[in-house]
């Protein structure tokens, strides 16, 4: 038998070994491809535990552009550009559009558009406030129809802001991006989430929501709108999700869904999966009617008071 003293690479007799790292505390494993399933499960289980703890039953989700500022912020930006002596302009090489004058004109054009589109920020803020004022009066042990956004700036901020100003809880489902999207300051701290996986974030948007309000926006807004419409069209949802498309003039310029009907790509009935609204009052009236009809009737009440009401899917 070999004496361990003759092998310096072997531990001395009677020595105690170093404990192995616990698998769930091993960052190399958790961040590896093999740990992906645990990361995915954590983005299901951890939000679920928080929703239960905060007594969230269901939500109303607001989508829209992250680029629309409040009216006061948009007007301030325009004022600075129109009166360049009031602030130091960026260096020409840092301005889009080439030469300084061309860049200034391009920035002025965007600033004027920003002031025009700021009304949607203010409308989202007002609608979220109206909705939250109503929902906090509803009886029950759990919070109903909690205003939820993607957690970032723009329309998302406006929705969380309006709900917070009304004294209600409000949810932000943020996404970690290479270019940081920071959560807006109006999210209820206990309901501030950040996801790595887009599909897990989408899951929580869809599975708690009873209504969707889609403000003017870009690719991400269209993505969320058509995902919910596809689930409803294909009857993959066992619940009614009311979809309100806000700002008919904007969306009619962006989309011509009648072309799909005329071409046979969708049926005329599919256009009834959503409705338009142009004022916070109009949108709130529609939301209140649908949420009451489909989700506040006695037969629609859940039989238990624990945890969120997770949506079922049809077989």
Q: Average pLDDT, stretch 29-43?
A: 95
Q: Do 175 and 181 meet the contact criterion of CB atoms below 8 Å apart?
A: yes
Helices vs strands, H then E, count in the chain: 10, 7
Residue 104: which pLDDT band, with cuts at 50, 70 and 90? low
List C-alpha distances in Å: 182 to 132, 151, 166, 197: 24, 8, 23, 16
pLDDT (0 to 100) of residue 109: 66
Residue 75 CA to chain centroid, in angstroms? Answer: 26
- SS3 label, residue 84: helix
Would you give the DSSP letter of residue 64? -
When pLDDT is averaged across residues 218-226 and rounded to a whole number, the result is 94
Q: Parallel, antiparallel, or unpaired: how do β-strands 171-175 and 192-195 relate?
A: parallel
37 pLDDT band, cuts 50/70/90, is very high
Average pLDDT, the chain: 86
Asked if residue 313 has pLDDT above 60, the reply is no
Cα–Cα distance for residue pair 53/305, rounded to 1 Å: 12
Pairwise pLDDT comparison (198 vs 177), residue with the higher score: 198
Structural element, H or E, at residue 141: none
State pLDDT tens for residues 246-271.
Answer: 999 999 999 999 999 999 999 999 99
Q: Helices marked H in the chain — which ranges?
A: 27-30, 36-53, 71-82, 100-135, 155-165, 198-208, 219-233, 248-254, 257-262, 280-295
Query: Does residue 20 register a pLDDT over 50?
Result: yes
Which positions ≥6 away from 314 have C-beta within 8 Å? 235, 236, 237, 238
Axis crossing angle, helix 36-53 with helix 198-208, rounded to the nearest 10 = 30
- Work out the average pLDDT over 273-285: 97
Burial 54-76 (b: 16+ CB within 10 A, else e): bbbbbbbbbbbbbebbbbeebeb
Instruction: Answer for the pair 167, 178: CB distance below 8 angstroms, yes or no.
Output: no
pLDDT band at 112 (very low <50, low <70, confident <90, very high): low
Query: pTM score, two decimals?
Result: 0.82
State residue 303's pLDDT score: 47
Query: In CATH, what class is 54-70+119-300?
Result: alpha beta
Separation of alpha carbons 236 and 249, rounded Å? 30
- Reference 198, options 181, 215, 216, 217; nearest CA is 181
């Amino acid at each position: 038998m070999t004496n361990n003293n003759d092998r310096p690479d072997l531990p001395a007799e009677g020595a105690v070994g170093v404990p192995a790292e616990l698998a769930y505390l091993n960052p190399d494993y958790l961040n590896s491809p093999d740990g992906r399933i645990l990361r995915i499960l954590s983005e299901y289980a951890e939000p679920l535990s928080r929703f239960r703890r905060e007594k969230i039953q269901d939500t109303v989700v607001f989508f829209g552009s992250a680029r629309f500022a409040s009216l006061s912020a948009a007007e301030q930006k325009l004022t600075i550009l129109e009166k360049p002596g009031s602030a130091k302009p960026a260096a020409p090489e840092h301005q889009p559009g080439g030469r300084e004058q061309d860049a200034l004109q391009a920035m002025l054009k965007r600033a004027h558009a920003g002031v025009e589109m700021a009304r949607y920020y203010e409308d989202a803020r007002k609608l979220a406030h109206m909705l939250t004022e109503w929902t906090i009066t509803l009886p029950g042990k759990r919070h109903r129809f909690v205003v939820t956004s993607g957690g970032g700036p723009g329309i998302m901020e406006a929705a969380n802001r309006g709900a917070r100003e009304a004294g209600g809880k409000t949810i932000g489902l943020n996404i970690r991006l290479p270019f940081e999207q920071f959560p807006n300051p109006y999210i209820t701290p206990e309901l501030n989430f950040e996801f790595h996986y887009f599909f897990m974030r989408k899951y929580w948007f869809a599975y708690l929501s009873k209504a969707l309000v889609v403000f003017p926006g870009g690719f991400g807004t269209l993505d969320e709108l058509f995902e919910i419409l596809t689930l409803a069209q294909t009857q993959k949802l066992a619940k009614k999700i009311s979809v309100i498309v806000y700002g008919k003039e904007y969306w009619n310029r962006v989309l011509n869904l009648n072309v799909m009907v005329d071409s046979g790509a969708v049926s005329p009935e599919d256009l009834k999966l959503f409705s338009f609204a142009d004022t916070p009052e109009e949108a709130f009236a529609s939301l209140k009617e649908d949420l009451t009809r489909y989700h506040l009737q006695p037969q629609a009440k859940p039989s238990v008071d624990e945890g969120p009401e997770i949506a079922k899917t049809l077989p």
